[in-house]
Chain A
Amino acid sequence: MIAAVVRRVGIMAGDPGIRAAARRCWPWVALLAFTIVLPWLFYDWSKGRHAGFVVSLLSQIGLMIIFALSFNMQMGQAGLLSFGHAVYLGLGGYVTIHAINAVGAGRLWLPMELMPLVGGFSGLLFAIVFGWMATKQRGTAYAMITLGLGELVGAAAVMFNGFFGGEGGITANRILKTSLFGLSYGPSIQVYYLILAWTAVSVVAMLLLTQVPLGRMANACRDNFERAQFVGYDPRMVRFYQCALSGFFAGIAGALYAVDYEIVTFDAVGSILSANALLMTFIGGIGVFWGPIVGAVLITLLQSWMSLISNAWLIYVAVLFIVMVIYAPGGIAGLIMAHVPIWRAGRLPALALPYLRIGPPALIGAAGFAGLVELTYFVTIGSGQGKSLSVLHQAIDAGSARPWLLASTLFVAGTGIALSQRRAFAAAWDAVGEQIRMKERSR
């Protein structure tokens, strides 16, 4: 019998389909293994406890990944730009926090591990209600409806105390006695693994949803809704299903938000979080499935580290966003994917020199810009907060002319050189692309 099993496994391992799937899956499996180990890399062995900041940061990244991916189900896959995506996260979070309180008071029995489903299904419910209205339109009109709905729910959250708790929000105690595995979820590391598990499940589910007919039809309706209509699909219903499912996953993110922070306030439905979803997803890249993951990690890291050292981090995010909209609409993932064929053809060295010509000047220009922004911020706000300005432990006097001159020279010279190299770089890029195409054709 054992021999039969071994033979069976051997056949499966030899099956080309399975092997191909394994090859495709290994980066995801490696990533999962890495995230399981990750908090232990920051474990303080001398004191025997976890680095609280790192664990809470990782938890936040996890739920933001679900949120950004669910946003991309609308934006990248269905071409629906939403300005009110936080509504589903926030309402999912509110329902979950009420559910946690109900379990805590003994009015309801539900294991903590399944709490995200509460958020998910309430997100789904609200996405069905709001999505039914919004998906009647597409394009700009859809964006405006979601903007209006987002503002409506955001204002209602401050107005109605019963459900939303007004300005103070709703708080809860996540330590329940209903865990399936006997965990208390008091220590944040346990919550991290809960979030990690749900993030993994959600990522896989959303990845599979891009492969099923609905995901494919969403792409079709995004690219050419009239043709999709001729094939016999109703683009409106495709948009609606996609929107509803995206609300489900945003609701899961909201439930994890409620469990992680133990408080949900009007911020969770607010326009800032909605804008955040857009920034994360777009900077990460809307055209590739894993793009929003990159964006969520990057923006959340920026948010927690940059905001400690600089008042102006949102300015940098905004500039990055604008530059990306104009020059790299595919986001970071799009940039990476553009290099893959060149790398496969072994032609990356041909781009090294053009990169050297444009990269360092652009970085110098960016540094000059950052210097100017920091100096201005220091003069207007920072000095009032009693902060001091220093670069590499060198104190800088923002009142004198020297730092200003230096920063503006760097900015003007750096961006000037980078912009003057733009054409040459584009030409080199096109030439490499052309060579690769020629080689493929001759083969």
Chain B
Amino acid sequence: MELILVTLLNGLVYGMLLFMLASGLTLIFSMMGVLNFAHASMYMIGAYLAFQISQAIGFWPALIIAPALCGVIGAAIEMYGLRKAHRNGHVAELLFTFGIAFLIEKGVQMIWGLAPVPYRVPSALDFALFTIYGTNFHAYRGFMLLISMLMFLAIRLLLTRTRVGLIIQASLTNPEMVGALGHNVPRVFTTVFAGGSALAGLAGVIGGNYLVTEPAMAFTMGPIVFVVVVFGGLGSLAGCFIASLVMGLVQSFAVVFDVSLADLLARLGIVVTARTPLAEVLTVPLPRIAALLPFLLLVLILVFKPRGLMGTRDT
């Protein structure tokens, strides 16, 4: 019971972090029709910038400045790169973001080196918030949860209650019509791209010290965010929210429960020995394949239900 509660909380924190990344990506994806490989790179840049800024002037200014810088970088990428690549079609756009992600990874290695940087949780939040069943719940996790909840509410209100949000929502599904009504659709695209990048940067700021800040962090996080976006469905923020939480919980629980297919078969009365065919596959414990689960989900969803959980159209 205690294990379940603690894992639930951890999964929630991780899921909300995923949502912060995925919410921006799902908007960008719905608009461009192309997955943005550079999105997770923005998360990485956010973490590294926050590390640099927090060394100079502290964590709290970094919380504002780093995401803002990420937003500016995102806007620049959209205006000076993506828009030009768009002329050469969808595949060119996808390849362009892939190239940018590649370049950012190498650039980060160039500037900050190959090893992880010591980006740490600020000391003001470095204490145990409360204790459940003898396990400390770290104050920083509470802070992450708070930030991501606030952000979720802010996006939701922005998209559903304001004029800007309405135009964005309309541009997601019907850009030509929105343009015909006199709105500057390219600027809406740039805004969304910048906003999404800023959100990813924010996720980097608060996730970089919780997880680890290293040059490979974008490539480990990227595919998981893709899974969330595809799972949640195109153009659906609610689906994205649910998918993030599910993914966070699945990953957290999978790491904790040490079971394998062989255990399951043993319950059914089938004993797996070393000589059973596929014994290695059957006896591999769940925590070891936890990292595989998102990709398995990605493939299964795209093959069998490309519309995702609450999507309005196929991927």
A residues apposed to B, CB below 8 Å: 79, 81, 133-134, 136-137, 139-141, 143-145, 147-149, 151-152, 155-156, 159-162, 271, 275, 278, 282, 312, 314-315, 318-319, 321-322, 325-326, 329, 373, 376-377, 380-381
A136 surroundings in chain B (CB, below 8 A):
303
What count of chain B residues pass the 8 Å CB interface test?
A: 48
Query: Is there contact, CB below 8 Å, between B230 and A133?
Result: no
B34 at the interface (CB under 8 A from A): yes
Identify the closest chain B residue to A151 (Cβ): B295
A79 surroundings in chain B (CB, below 8 A):
91
Cβ contacts B85-109/A at 8 Å (1 or 0 each):
1001111101110111011001101
Query: Is there contact, CB below 8 Å, between A140 and B303?
Result: no
Give bound CA distance, A329 to B288, whole Å.
41
B114 at the interface (CB under 8 A from A): yes
Identify the closest chain B residue to A132 (Cβ): B303
Query: Is there contact, CB below 8 Å, between B84 and A144?
Result: no
Give bound CA distance, A140 to B226, whole Å.
12
Give bound CA distance, A314 to B91, whole Å.
22
Q: Which of B88, B109, B111, B303 contacts A325 (CB 8 A)?
A: B88
Q: Which of A81, A282, A318, A380 contacts B103 (CB 8 A)?
A: A318
Q: Which of A133, A137, A144, A380 contacts B113 (CB 8 A)?
A: A380
Q: Could you list 8 examples of A-B contacts with CB < 8 Å?
A: A147-B226, A162-B280, A315-B103, A318-B102, A318-B103, A321-B99, A326-B81, A329-B89
B33 surroundings in chain A (CB, below 8 A):
140
B129 at the interface (CB under 8 A from A): no
B169 at the interface (CB under 8 A from A): no
Identify the closest chain A residue to B288 (Cβ): A159
Contact A321:B102 (CB < 8 A) given known A148-B302, A380-B110 = yes
B residues apposed to A, CB below 8 Å: 33-35, 81, 84-85, 88-92, 94-96, 98-100, 102-103, 106-107, 109-114, 219, 223, 226-227, 230, 280-281, 284, 288-289, 291-292, 295-296, 298-299, 302-303, 306, 314-315
B85 surroundings in chain A (CB, below 8 A):
325-326
Contact A155:B295 (CB < 8 A) given known A322-B96, A325-B99, A380-B111 = yes
A137 surroundings in chain B (CB, below 8 A):
302-303, 306, 315
A271 surroundings in chain B (CB, below 8 A):
219
Other A-B pairs, 13, CB within 8 Å; known A81-B91, A137-B303, A137-B315: A140-B35, A144-B226, A147-B298, A148-B296, A159-B289, A162-B280, A312-B106, A315-B110, A318-B106, A325-B96, A376-B111, A380-B111, A381-B113
Give bound CA distance, A14 to B227, whole Å.
61
B298 surroundings in chain A (CB, below 8 A):
144-145, 147-148
Query: Is there contact, CB below 8 Å, between A149 and B110?
Result: no
Give bound CA distance, A322 to B97, whole Å.
9
Shortest distance between the CB of B44 and any CB in chain A (Å) = 15
Shortest distance between the CB of A235 and any CB in chain B (Å) = 15
Query: Is there contact, CB below 8 Å, between B96 and A315?
Result: no
Identify the closest chain A residue to B33 (Cβ): A140
Shortest distance between the CB of A398 and any CB in chain B (Å) = 13
Query: Is there contact, CB below 8 Å, between B110 and A376?
Result: yes
B112 surroundings in chain A (CB, below 8 A):
380
A151 surroundings in chain B (CB, below 8 A):
223, 292, 295
Query: Is there contact, CB below 8 Å, between B315 and A152?
Result: no
Q: Which of B94, B109, B289, B302 contacts A81 (CB 8 A)?
A: B94
Query: Is there contact, CB below 8 Å, between A278 and B292?
Result: no
Give bound CA distance, A155 to B96, whole Å.
26
B89 surroundings in chain A (CB, below 8 A):
329
Give bound CA distance, A147 to B98, whole Å.
12
Query: Is there contact, CB below 8 Å, between A325 and B295?
Result: no
Can you list the 10 inter-chain pairs with the closest CB atoms, starting with the nearest? A148-B298, A318-B103, A322-B99, A148-B299, A329-B88, A148-B295, A151-B295, A318-B102, A321-B99, A141-B315
B110 surroundings in chain A (CB, below 8 A):
312, 315, 373, 376-377, 380-381
Contact A145:B302 (CB < 8 A) given known A151-B295, A156-B292, A160-B281 = yes
Contact A325:B95 (CB < 8 A) given known A376-B110, A381-B113 = yes
Query: Is there contact, CB below 8 Å, between B302 and A160?
Result: no
Q: Which of B34, B114, B303 contacts A145 (CB 8 A)?
A: B303
Shortest distance between the CB of B298 and any CB in chain A (Å) = 4
A377 surroundings in chain B (CB, below 8 A):
110
Q: Which of A134, A152, A278, A312 contacts B295 (CB 8 A)?
A: A152
